[in-house]
Amino acid sequence: MHEMSIVMGIIKIAENEAAKANVTQFSAIDLEIGNLSGVEYEALDFAWNVAVEGTVLENATKNVHKIQAKAQCGDCDTIFDVQYIYDNCPKCGSYFKSILQGKELRVKSLDTY
């Protein structure tokens, strides 16, 4: 389960920011996760509950903002929503596309008490 390593990375980011801000706990964390990021949300929740114990995120509310993937067709320039990386353009049927968003996995903000 690679979600555990993702959570450990998030904890490391939070610990670094806590040291910079001279705080011991965060009250909330906002995450942005794209639907093409490869993250399984249920596995992330399970890993989260185990990994944050005893950390600066132990009592933090986790807010996940899901980012809908969008692509631009390389043939007709249509911008369209993507559910899977192999989706084709709904206008012309081309599979040639650039992903504009949806692969995000980032800490958007950390809030203190």
Contact 18, 56 (CB under 8 A): yes
For 76-95, how does the pLDDT look when each residue is reduced to its tens digit (9 = 90+)? 999 999 999 999 999 999 99
Where do the DSSP E strands lie in the chain? 28-34, 61-67, 69-73, 79-82, 97-101, 105-111
Global pTM value: 0.88
CATH class for domain 3-111? alpha beta
pLDDT, averaged across the chain: 96
Q: Is 104 helix (H, G, I), strand (E, B) or coil?
A: coil
Residue 1 has pLDDT above 80, yes or no: no
CA distance 62 to 7: 11
